[in-house]
């Protein structure tokens, strides 16, 4: 009789911005919190709310074993929050305790798949991801393969490398390969089941590039680097993972990581990692920002709104990116655009629960007077008093078609569309970044008809708007915020120094 493979599934997903308010259970419950059989159900759903990495893993395993009855999943806990500040110690420890209890209840497993982000910090530790990996290893023992997928913004620790057999990072930014990386994790786990031994090598560079410089399309340094890394995949090398990390986590773990796994030897993995790290270091000056000032953006928006001839423009506000822990509600750009009388412009999306509630109470067609950021305490979330007309009201749940939300169910919470003197503001009650044109069309706004659109996003929107806007129609505005690409604006406490580009004379040499 063939014994079915039994694989435990778990994951903790948080990208922590040290400068943002801390997060706790409520943030995870609002975003993604699945346990037990609900994980299997979501993973096999057509438009899942669970991380697509889990769906990819299940898909590959189901195909390998001829359907879901051909292998046994042990779904444990898969949770995730929108990017936020450090996770609260009490909640994180409770999560670990729950994970431990559930893992111990399982019968022996053959493998563990961990769907993890990898850039979490906690209020009490720099390395909650590593703590979790250590716990899983302690319970399943040294021989059971543990394979994890990571976001390419993960900050790597020795503990994360040591406690797992294989770490597989995304290779696209915007991240559109979560599903494929989940499938890859499954394929690699099957290889580990067959007895293949992997040798690993890890190098970390003192390079912490601003997030806006880390796109992976052709012509971008990070994309070129990742593609070069993939050129080594073959008979000997099973995986090359290059993780740029997430600057705003501000941990001793920060720095671009090169992880190479070889079926042949440690030396083989080391040689490839060295070559790639040297290439990245020699090209470090390519990681440059290219933003325009708020006054230039205002002038352009006014011109494009008033005249039908110029091409429509898509403005990004990378400094207030909820996808990096930003609050998604700063008013610097909105205020300037209103003062200048910009027309035919849509702000997608703006996080303000109070504005949404007021709009719902008043109803469609009503005029309301409100103060945006009524209850916000963050220094960048300045209050702004406005008079608006409520254009429409929505549940906020919709199916995604483009970019990172394609094939998923998105949920912005109750959502209100307000018109403020020719500017439409999409107010949402679940904080998140605008990841695609679905965030307009789901609420009855045709993105094709907009003269200008402003998104609070660092770069993930690009995959979800590329069917409408060419790269030359997309401009990044230099405004203040919790996720400003101007790294010198922050009071770094734990970042290893010197580090490039903050310390321009940083020296790095390979130590063989
Ligand atoms: Zn990321």
Rg (CA), the chain: 23
* pTM tops 0.85: yes
Q: Contact, 206 vs 214, CB < 8 A?
A: no
Q: How far is the CA of 407 from the centre of ligand 1 (A)?
A: 19
User: How far does the centroid of ligand 1 lie from the alpha carbon of residue 196, in Å?
Assistant: 30
**Ligand 1 midpoint to CA 174 (Å):** 8
Q: Give the integer Cα–Cα distance in Å for 152 and 244.
A: 6
Ligand 1 centre from 460 Cα, in Å?
A: 9
Centre of ligand 1 to C-alpha 408, Å, is: 17
Instruction: Average the pLDDT over 460-487 and give the result.
Output: 96
CB proximity list for 41: less than 8 A, separation 6 or greater: none
| Separation of CA 447 and ligand 1 centre (Å) | 25
Distance 338 CA to ligand 1 centre (A): 32
CATH of 6-286, one of 3.30.70.120, 3.40.50.2300, 3.30.365.10, 3.40.50.1000: 3.40.50.2300
419 pLDDT band, cuts 50/70/90, is very high
pLDDT per residue as tens digits for the range 82-132: 999 999 999 999 999 999 999 999 989 999 999 999 999 999 999 999 999
Tokens of 297: 């953006």
Distance 308 CA to ligand 1 centre (A): 36
| 149 alpha carbon – ligand 1 mean position (Å) | 12
**Centroid of ligand 1 to alpha carbon of 91 (angstroms):** 23
Cα separation, 464 vs 178, whole angstroms: 15
> Chain-wide mean pLDDT for the chain?
96
The strand order across the sheet containing 256-262 reads 199-205, 256-262, 237-243
In angstroms, rounded to a whole number, what is the distance separating the alpha carbons of residues 231 and 163? 27
Cα-to-centroid distance, 211 and ligand 1 (Å): 9
What separation in Å is there between the alpha carbon of 67 and the centre of ligand 1? Answer: 31
Is the previous residue joined to 349 through a cis bond, with omega within 30 degrees of 0?
A: yes
C-alpha 151 – ligand 1 centre gap (Å): 5
**What is the pLDDT at residue 377?**
86
- Report the share of the chain in percent with pLDDT over 90: 96
Rounded to the nearest whole angstrom, what is the distance from the C-alpha of residue 320 to the centroid of ligand 1?
A: 15
Secondary structure (3-state) at 55: helix
Give the per-residue pLDDT at 366: 98
User: Tell me, what's the pLDDT at 375?
Assistant: 86
Span from the CA of 130 to the centroid of ligand 1 (angstroms): 18
The per-residue pLDDT for range 11-50, each reduced to its tens digit, is 999 999 999 999 999 999 999 999 999 999 999 999 999 9
Per-residue pLDDT reduced to its tens digit, 154-179: 999 999 999 999 999 999 999 999 99
Residue 512 reports pLDDT greater than 60: no
Give 510's pLDDT tier (boundaries 50, 70, 90). confident
**In the predicted model, what is the mean pLDDT of residues 283-300?**
96
Residue among 201, 264, 161, 189 nearest 7 (CA): 189
Domain ranges of the chain: 6-286, 292-484
pLDDT of residue 3: 83
The arithmetic mean of pLDDT across residues 228-243, rounded, is 98
Tokens of 234: 């073959």
Nearest one of 167, 82, 151, 164 to 117, comparing CA atoms: 151
Contact 458, 464 (CB under 8 A): no
Q: How far is the CA of 443 from the centre of ligand 1 (A)?
A: 26
Task: Report how far ligand 1's centroid is from the alpha carbon of 257 (Å).
Answer: 14
Q: Is the pLDDT of residue 1 over 80?
A: no
Instruction: Give the pLDDT confidence score for residue 488 in this predicted structure.
Output: 92
**Cβ-based burial of 174 (10 A; exposed 0-12, middle 13-18, buried ≥19):** buried
Peptide bond into 281 cis (omega under 30): no
């Amino acid at each position: 009789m063939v014994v079915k493979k039994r694989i435990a599934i778990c994951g903790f997903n948080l990208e922590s911005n040290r400068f943002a308010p801390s997060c706790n259970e409520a943030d995870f419950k609002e975003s993604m919190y699945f346990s037990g059989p609900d994980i299997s159900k979501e993973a096999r759903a057509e438009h899942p709310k669970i991380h697509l990495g889990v769906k990819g893993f299940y898909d590959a395993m189901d195909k390998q074993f001829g359907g879901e009855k051909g292998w046994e999943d042990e779904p444990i806990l898969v949770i995730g929050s929108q990017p936020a500040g450090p996770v609260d110690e009490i909640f994180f420890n409770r999560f670990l305790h729950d994970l431990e209890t559930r893992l111990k209840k399982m019968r022996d497993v053959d493998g563990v798949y961990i769907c993890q982000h990898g850039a979490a910090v906690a209020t009490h530790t720099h390395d909650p991801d590593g703590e979790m990996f250590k716990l899983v290893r302690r319970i399943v023992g040294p021989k059971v393969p543990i394979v994890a997928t990571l976001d390419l913004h993960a900050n790597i620790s020795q503990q994360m490398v040591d406690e797992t057999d294989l770490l597989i990072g995304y290779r696209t930014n915007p991240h559109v390969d979560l599903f494929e990386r989940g499938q890859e994790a499954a394929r690699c786990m099957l290889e580990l089941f067959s007895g293949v031994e992997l040798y690993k090598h890890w190098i970390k560079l003192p390079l912490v590039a601003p997030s806006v410089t880390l796109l992976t399309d052709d012509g971008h340094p990070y994309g070129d680097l990742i593609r070069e890394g993939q050129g080594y995949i073959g008979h000997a090398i099973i995986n090359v993972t290059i993780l740029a990390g997430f600057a705003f986590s501000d941990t001793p773990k920060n720095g671009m990581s090169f992880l190479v796994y070889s079926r042949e030897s440690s030396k083989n993995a080391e040689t490839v990692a060295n070559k790639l790290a040297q290439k990245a270091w020699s090209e470090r000056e390519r990681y440059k920002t290219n933003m325009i000032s708020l006054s230039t953006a205002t002038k352009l928006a006014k011109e494009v709104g008033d005249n039908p001839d110029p091409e429509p423009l898509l403005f990004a506000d990378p400094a207030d990116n909820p996808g990096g822990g930003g609050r998604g509600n700063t008013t610097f750009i909105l205020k300037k655009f209103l003062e200048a009388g910009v027309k035919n412009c849509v702000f997608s999306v703006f996080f303000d629960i109070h504005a949404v509630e007021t709009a719902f109470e008043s109803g469609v067609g009503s005029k309301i007077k409100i103060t945006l950021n009524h209850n916000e305490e963050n220094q960048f979330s300045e209050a702004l008093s406005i008079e608006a007309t409520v254009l429409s009201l929505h549940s906020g749940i919709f199916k995604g078609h483009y970019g990172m939300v394609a094939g998923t169910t998105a949920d912005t919470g109750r959502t209100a569309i307000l018109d403020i003197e020719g500017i439409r503001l999409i107010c949402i009650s679940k904080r998140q970044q605008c990841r695609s044109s679905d965030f307009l069309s789901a609420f009855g706004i045709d993105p094709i008809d907009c003269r200008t659109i402003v998104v609070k996003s660092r770069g993930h929107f690009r995959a979800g708007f590329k069917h409408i806007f060419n790269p030359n129609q997309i401009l990044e505005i230099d405004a203040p915020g919790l996720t400003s690409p101007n790294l010198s604006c922050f009071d770094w406490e734990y970042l290893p120094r010197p580090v490039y580009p903050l310390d321009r004379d940083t020296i790095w040499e390979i130590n063989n």
